[in-house]
Every structure is written in structure tokens, then in C-alpha cells.
């Protein structure tokens, strides 16, 4: 503003001179003064453009000479993409390990359940003295088999349970990796904000636009603004029933 | 009952497949987006479609619209199982003719309830 104030005074002086010249009938003098006035206007504009260009140039230079930023552009981004890829792979692996274990455990549990049900029916018949000697002999053999098998089956169930437990270890690793990427993103964000502040308003509008597009799809994340989002299945059901579903 | 599950994440397809098996549906097939799913539907005599929304290639909403626009598939029951939870998206899916909408993360109970409801309505 300190530059503009004297400029404004200068312009006022020029304007007064133009009026004075015109009143005095000095058209040539007035025309010269008008050119001067326009020139002063242009020079403010040029000064301002010059200042912004210089600041932008300095900022770009400081970015370029900033070793950390260079490292960011050359290595850390590629690194971050690889890290996130690793997160996808690790979580996928954990999900598959867990489902493998569950898929093996389920039929085992079903089998134990069915055998126990069948044997307990037989046992009830025995208790109410409905079982003949031959049937009883068969029942004891089956019970003995069942108990033996139960030991094996439950220990493989335990094994599967511990597979599921161990598979959750991904959370620690992926959590650490994601934290690192968040730090990188925040760092870049800070630097970009500096750049945007210097280069002015237009880029701000653009960033808002891309922001909106990036947020358009994908799961809602708590704490992040997503627009008009339902809060859960009940909310979905209410909305659909309001639409006549 | 022949069911097509369309989701770009294999783990999600596997979860849905397992849940369906527990519900007694064993004839399930998988596709990883609308582009691979649509030809399967057109040639496969499917009875039911479960699809995600956000997928590369062809999105679930476009698959739904393509199904409704195809005279042979138009009456196929479609359940959307998706993380997309914007009201306008749910309204869009409803207008496009979806039969049910489940938001992720979901429970086995919710999936069963919605599937049962769809078949009740189809049978009625």
C-alpha cells in the first residue's frame, strides 16, 4: 500500500492538471497529461506483475533448491505409492489368510456339531433304556471314535483360530506405513499452500474443484466432509422406504 | 439359484460368496467389474445380481442401467452392496431400478434380510 499511496496522489495531481489545461484551452497539454496518467496506471500494473513474478520465481527457486522437496518429488512419492501398494497387498493377504482359516474351520465345526447331535440322541435313547446290547456296543465305539476325533478336530480349530489371530498383525505394519504417507502428504500440502498463496486466487478455485471430484467416490471416512451422507444401513432403509421401497 | 457377484476386490467377492453359501446359495459366479459382468449376465441365465458401485472399467450404477435397458435382463433382481453412502447416490440407484441397497461395512444379517426381502417381493 505504501507504494500505491504516493501513486494515487500523483494521479490526482495529474488529473487536476488535465482539468486546468482543458479549462485553459490547452488541448495539446491536456492530451500529453492524459498519456502520462495512463502511463502511470500501466506502471502500477507492471510493478505489481513484476512483484508477483519475482515472488513466484523466488518461491519456485527455493522449492527447487530445497533438497527435501527434490527428494520428495524424485523418491518419496514413488516410495509412497509403493508403500500404499504394499498396504493393499498386506491387507488382502490378511483377509485371505483369515478366510482360508474360517473356510477350513467351518466344516470342522459343522461336523463336530452334527456328530455330537447324533450321539446325544443315541445317548438319550440309552438313558431311557431303549438301546439294545448290540446298539449300545456300537454307541460306545462311536463315542470313543468321536472323543478321539474331537481332540484332533479341536486342536486344528485352535490352529485355525491362531492363524486368524496372527493374520491381524497387518494392522500394526500397515498403520505405520500409512502414518508415514500421511506425514508426506501433509508436508506437500503445506508447500503447495505456500505456492497457491503466492500465485493467487484462481488456483484456489481449481483446488476446490479437484477436491470435490476426488471426494466424489469411495467410502465415507469419519471426520472428512463428504456432503450429504447416510449414517448407516438404517438410514439407507429409511431413505429407500421414503422413496416407496 | 444362479448368482453373479460383481466387485473389484476379490476379498469382498469372497466374503459375499461365503455369506451366500451360509444362506444356502452355492451357485455363485464372480466378475471384477461391469465390463466383465455384463456379458456374463447376457449369456448366463443368472437369477440374481449383487454388485458394488465404485469399480474401474464399468461402474455398478452403469451396470444396473445396462441391465434395466436390456429386455432380456430388465427384470433381474439387483442388490447393490457398496461403500457409496451419499443420499443422492442412493436415490440415483433407486431411480435406476435397484431392488436393494446395502452399505459397507455390512453384517451377514443385513445381507440375508435384504436378499430375503428381494425374493419375497419378486415372488409376490
Reading the block at residue A141, the C-alpha cell is 465305539
3-state secondary structure of B27: coil
A4 — pLDDT class (breaks 50, 70, 90)? low
In this prediction, residue B42 has a pLDDT band, given cuts at 50, 70 and 90, of very high
Transcribe chain A into DSSP letters: -TTHHHHHHHHHHHHHHHHHHHHTT-HHHHHHHHHHHHHHHHHHHHHHHHHHHHHHHHHHHHHHH-HHHHHIIIIIHHHHHHHHHHHHHHHHHHHHHHHHHHHHHHHHHHHHHHHHHHHHHHHHHHHTT---HHHHHHHHHHHHHHHHHHHHHHHHHHHHHHHHHHHTTHHHHHHHHHHHHHHHHHHHHHHHHHHHHHH-HHHHHHHHHHHHHHHHSS---TTS--SSB--SHHHHHHHHHHTT-
Q: Which of A92, A226, A239 sits opposite B90 (nearest CB)?
A: A239
A12-45 residue pLDDT tens: 888 888 888 888 888 888 888 888 888 877 787 8
The separation between CA A132 and the C-alpha centre of its own chain, rounded to angstroms, equals: 69
Percentage of residues in chain A having pLDDT higher than 90:
30
Chains A, B: CB contacts within 8 A come to: 58
Cα(B92)–Cα(B86) distance, integer angstroms:
10
Task: Establish if A95 touches chain B: CB-CB under 8 angstroms.
Answer: yes
pLDDT value at residue A202: 54
Question: Who among B53, B94, B110 is closest to A245 (CB)?
Answer: B94
Beta-carbon contacts of residue B103 (< 8 Å; ≥ 6 apart): A230, A232, A233, A236, B82, B83, B84, B85
Q: 3-class DSSP state for residue B8? A: coil
Question: Which pLDDT band holds residue A5 (cuts at 50, 70, 90)?
Answer: low
- Computed from CA positions of residues A4, A9, A10, A11, in that sequence, does the dihedral angle turn out positive or negative? positive
Average pLDDT value for residue range A228-241: 89
**Cβ–Cβ contact A224 with B under 8 A:** no
* Three cell numbers, residue B124: 409376490
What is the spatial distance between Cα A88 and Cα B24, in angstroms, rounded to a whole number? 31
Give the lowest-confidence range in A4-18, A87-101, A175-189, B75-89: A4-18
Please judge whether B110 and A230 are an interchain contact, meaning their C-beta atoms are less than 8 angstroms apart. no
Share of chain B above pLDDT 90, in %: 69
Lowest mean pLDDT among A18-32, A217-231, B12-26: A217-231
Cβ contacts of B7-11, under 8 Å, gap ≥ 24: B7/B32, B7/B51, B7/B52, B7/B55, B7/B81, B8/B32, B8/B33, B8/B52, B8/B54, B8/B55, B8/B56, B9/A92, B9/B52, B10/A92, B11/A92, B11/A95, B11/A96, B11/A99
Mean pLDDT of A219-223: 71
pLDDT (average), residues B41-70: 95
What value does the mean pLDDT of chain A take?
83
What's the rounded mean pLDDT across residues B46-64? 94
Digit-coded pLDDT (tens) for B97-115: 999 999 988 888 899 999 9
Q: Is B79 on the interface with A (CB under 8 A)?
A: no
Q: What is the pLDDT of residue A200?
A: 67
Per-residue pLDDT averaged across A130-155, rounded? 93
pLDDT-derived band of residue A205, with 50, 70 and 90 as boundaries? low
Instruction: Give residue B22's pLDDT.
Output: 82
Residues of B in contact with A219 (CB under 8 A): 83-85, 104
pLDDT at res. A45: 83
Question: Does residue A64 carry a pLDDT above 80?
Answer: no
- Whether residue A1 has pLDDT greater than 50: no
A245 touches chain B (CB under 8 A): yes
CA–CA gap between residue A157 and residue B55 (Å, rounded): 36
Considering only the beta carbons, identify the residue of A95, A226, A243 that sits closest to B11. A95
Min mean pLDDT across A17-26, A118-127, A195-204, B12-21 is at A195-204
Among the ranges given (A95-109, A193-207, B57-71), the one the predictor scored with the smallest mean pLDDT: A193-207
Least confident interval from A55-59, A120-124, A187-191: A55-59
Q: Do A240 and B84 touch (CB under 8 A)?
A: no
Q: Is A102 on the interface with B (CB under 8 A)?
A: yes
Angstrom distance (rounded) from CA B32 to CA B9: 7
For residue B52, the model assigns a pLDDT of 95
Q: What is the ipTM of this complex?
A: 0.83
A208 band by pLDDT with thresholds 50, 70 and 90: low
More confident site: A74 or A103? A103
pLDDT band at A123, cuts 50/70/90? very high
pTM of the predicted protein model: 0.64
| A211 pLDDT above the threshold of 60 | no
**Sheet of strand B3-6: strand arrangement:** B28-31, B3-6, B48-51, B78-82, B100-103
- pLDDT(A226) > 70: no
Q: What's the rounded Cα separation, in Å, for the pair A59 and A186? A: 19
What pLDDT, in 10s, does the model give residues B59-81? 999 999 999 999 999 999 999 99
pLDDT, mean of residues A152-170: 89
Q: Can you say whether the dihedral through the CA atoms of A76, A201, A228, B95 is positive or negative?
A: negative
Amino acid at each position: 500500500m505504501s507504494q500505491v499511496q504516493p501513486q494515487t496522489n500523483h494521479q490526482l495531481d495529474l488529473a487536476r492538471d488535465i482539468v486546468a489545461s482543458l479549462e485553459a484551452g490547452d488541448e495539446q497539454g491536456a492530451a500529453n497529461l492524459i498519456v502520462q496518467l495512463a502511463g502511470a496506471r500501466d506502471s502500477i500494473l507492471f510493478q505489481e506483475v513484476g512483484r508477483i513474478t519475482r515472488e513466484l520465481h523466488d518461491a519456485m527457486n527455493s522449492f527447487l533448491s530445497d533438497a527435501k522437496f527434490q527428494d520428495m518429488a524424485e523418491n518419496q512419492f514413488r516410495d509412497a505409492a509403493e508403500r500404499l501398494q504394499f498396504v493393499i497387498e498386506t491387507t488382502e493377504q490378511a483377509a485371505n489368510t483369515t478366510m482360508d482359516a474360517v473356510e477350513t474351520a467351518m466344516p470342522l465345526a459343522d461336523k463336530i456339531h452334527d456328530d455330537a447331535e447324533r450321539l446325544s440322541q443315541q445317548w438319550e435313547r440309552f438313558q431311557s433304556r431303549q438301546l439294545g446290547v448290540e446298539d449300545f456296543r456300537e454307541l460306545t465305539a462311536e463315542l470313543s471314535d468321536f472323543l478321539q476325533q474331537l481332540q484332533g478336530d479341536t486342536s486344528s480349530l485352535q490352529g485355525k483360530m491362531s492363524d486368524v489371530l496372527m493374520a491381524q498383525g497387518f494392522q500394526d505394519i500397515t498403520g505405520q506405513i500409512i502414518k508415514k504417507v500421511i506425514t508426506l502428504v501433509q508436508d506437500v500440502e503445506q508447500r503447495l499452500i505456500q505456492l497457491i498463496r503466492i500465485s493467487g486466487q484462481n488456483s484456489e478455485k481449481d483446488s476446490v474443484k479437484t477436491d470435490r471430484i476426488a471426494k466424489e467416490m469411495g467410502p465415507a471416512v469419519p471426520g472428512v466432509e463428504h456432503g450429504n451422507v447416510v449414517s448407516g444401513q438404517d438410514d439407507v432403509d429409511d431413505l429407500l422406504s421414503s422413496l416407496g421401497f | 439359484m444362479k448368482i453373479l457377484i460383481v466387485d473389484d476386490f476379490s476379498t469382498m467377492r469372497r466374503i459375499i460368496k461365503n455369506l451366500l453359501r451360509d444362506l444356502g446359495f452355492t451357485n455363485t459366479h464372480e466378475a471384477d467389474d461391469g465390463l466383465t459382468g455384463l456379458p456374463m449376465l447376457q449369456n448366463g441365465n443368472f437369477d440374481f445380481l449383487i454388485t458394488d458401485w465404485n469399480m474401474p472399467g464399468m461402474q455398478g450404477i452403469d451396470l444396473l442401467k445396462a441391465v434395466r435397458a436390456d429386455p432380456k435382463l430388465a427384470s433381474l433382481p439387483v442388490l447393490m452392496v457398496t461403500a457409496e453412502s451419499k443420499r443422492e447416490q442412493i436415490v440415483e440407484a433407486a431411480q435406476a431400478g435397484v431392488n436393494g441397497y446395502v452399505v459397507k461395512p455390512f453384517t451377514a444379517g443385513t445381507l440375508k434380510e435384504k436378499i430375503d426381502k428381494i425374493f419375497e417381493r419378486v415372488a409376490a
